[in-house]
Structure 1
């Protein structure tokens, strides 16, 4: 089969399209013929080996997983004898980040817990855009952020992959949503239901002091003091992504700030979870959430796809058609 292989850390130029052996499913595995995959921030970490702390999970000197790619959607081609949920011909989607990656390929063999049935009302490309970004948004809002009906939510970096899911999921949970983005993305946020949109080139979100119950930081390089300034008493800030300095501030200063004050600051490390994937599936199936796709590339254009993605200006998701 054809697959993208990465044997050393570096720029997108280290990625190679090669012929490799087609996998065979173990007794508890499902063999999926992949139709589509998508890019996430985790793919950049796996490619570059940065921040360095990530290498303790992904390999100190070279990538532990030679075929990258987390999000997939495809058709079940074979199942091991212990597989209970799926059968040949089922359409599935899933997140492989918790079971060895391998999504940038024509086939992958994975445990059934990494998959869910693909909603019939969306395409394979849309399904491949959803798992990691959608579950990240769900875990950040519902689990870490303790989102409740009527909460006022600020999403910084609302026009990217996680951000576009977060806007829609927060609305589905009955929140009043404010998205922060650049001028070119204002209309996208309005089209997916944001109640208010802040164009950061014209207004700084800190002008809304003490207004939000929850702030989800998806991207950017703002200080923790900026975020805490706009939180209500007992409000929550959840760091999902952004600059390395912002990450380290949240990891090391967040617990202290949370302990001495009423505002809670935490960092989310998204973890693949079949129950959460099924919750996301229900939101997709009922059209409460729809994946936003910016650009599509084929497998042979993976280098160009990564170079575009790492610029950080994608409107929604970047999808790979296998």
Structure 2
């Protein structure tokens, strides 16, 4: 069986040989696992950060990579319920090496994929979708009628966060992006084109109950403070765009002063689970949420395709999600 694997720590875009197609074996499944034949995969910034070392990663080299995936169940463990051989599924299978022809993953991270999308479209949802949902619903404690500000509305997470905020009943959704038409089409009430506008200028007296940062940078945090309502929550999946060692003292300081300034600050990593995937599947099948794909054609299942795949996500200019097809439908 073949898998796109990481051969060492480095930059997939500039270090030759970091991403290689190698032969691997599939471990026997455990009672709580399923074996999936991969159809499409998608990656997120966390995937390349685990390779460059920006986020610590355990294990020796070579090791398999990937996070978002769609495919078909080909074997189920003895204790697995609710999934059967032949089911079309999607999963946030980070650290399970889904960028391979087959892989095993805990059944609790897998759900049946939406019936009205392709495998490539299904692979665009899991990690980005769970991140957006958990940021707004769980960390941001978003309620119906809240005003929501999203930094980076055209990216993989932001494009779903706009749609989720609308489904969850936001009164006003403001986002930052140079892709104004895209974000408005997803449900944003106001789009701040960061190339020539500022949030403060564009929103006037509007105050926000939830600020969700998908971009990073100290400027996003400072601007957020200027437009947040009393008791609001600032949620980031990026922080200030610095290393974890530098971000930790900043995080501790913000958590210390938040009570004095009457706001909440949270930075978090997504928790994979099938329940959130069930929720997302329902919204997609109801037509309330749609996939946002960056490219018309997925990247190819090859070593060259894998390198180009990582190069694309590392550029940071994708509009929506990018995918790679492992096996044609």
The answer to whether structure 1 residue 29 and structure 2 residue 33 are counterparts is yes
- 1:211 aligns with one of 204, 207, 211: 207
Check the 8 A contact 2:110/2:273 in 1, yes or no. Answer: no
Q: Quick one: structure 1 residues 82 and 65, their matched pair in 2 at CA, closer, same or farther if it must change by over 3 Å?
A: farther
Match of residue 275 from structure 1: 275
Match of residue 7 from structure 2: 7
Rounded to whole Å, the distance in 1 between the matches of 2:147 and 2:61 is 41
* TM-score in terms of structure 2 length: 0.89
Match of residue 244 from structure 1: 241
Check the 8 A contact 2:216/2:236 in 1, yes or no. Answer: no
Rounded to whole Å, the distance in 1 between the matches of 2:165 and 2:87 is 30
Q: Which segments of structure 1 move beyond 4 Å, counting only runs of 4 or more? A: 62-65
Q: Give the deviation of 1:210 after TM superposition.
A: 5.6
The answer to whether structure 1 residue 319 and structure 2 residue 313 are counterparts is no
Match of residue 307 from structure 2: 303
Check the 8 A contact 2:7/2:20 in 1, yes or no. Answer: no
Rounded to whole Å, the distance in 1 between the matches of 2:250 and 2:235 is 9
**234-243 or 263-272: bigger deviation:** 234-243
Q: Give the deviation of 1:239 after TM superposition.
A: 0.9
Match of residue 161 from structure 2: 166
Q: Quick one: structure 1 residues 87 and 187, their matched pair in 2 at CA, closer, same or farther if it must change by over 3 Å?
A: same
Check the 8 A contact 2:175/2:192 in 1, yes or no. Answer: yes
Match of residue 147 from structure 1: 142
The answer to whether structure 1 residue 287 and structure 2 residue 283 are counterparts is no
Q: Secondary structure of 1:31's match?
A: strand
Unaligned runs of at least 5 residues, structure 1 = none
Check the 8 A contact 2:96/2:104 in 1, yes or no. Answer: no
Q: Give the deviation of 1:286 after TM superposition.
A: 1.2
Check the 8 A contact 2:175/2:191 in 1, yes or no. Answer: yes
Q: Give CA-to-partner distance per residue, 1:73-115, whole Å, 9 cap, x none.
A: 0001112222222111111111112xx3211101011121110
Unaligned runs of at least 5 residues, structure 2 = none
Match of residue 175 from structure 2: 179
Rounded to whole Å, the distance in 1 between the matches of 2:260 and 2:310 is 42
Check the 8 A contact 1:75/1:89 in 2, yes or no. Answer: yes
Match of residue 86 from structure 2: 89
* TM-score in terms of structure 1 length: 0.91
RMSD: 1.8
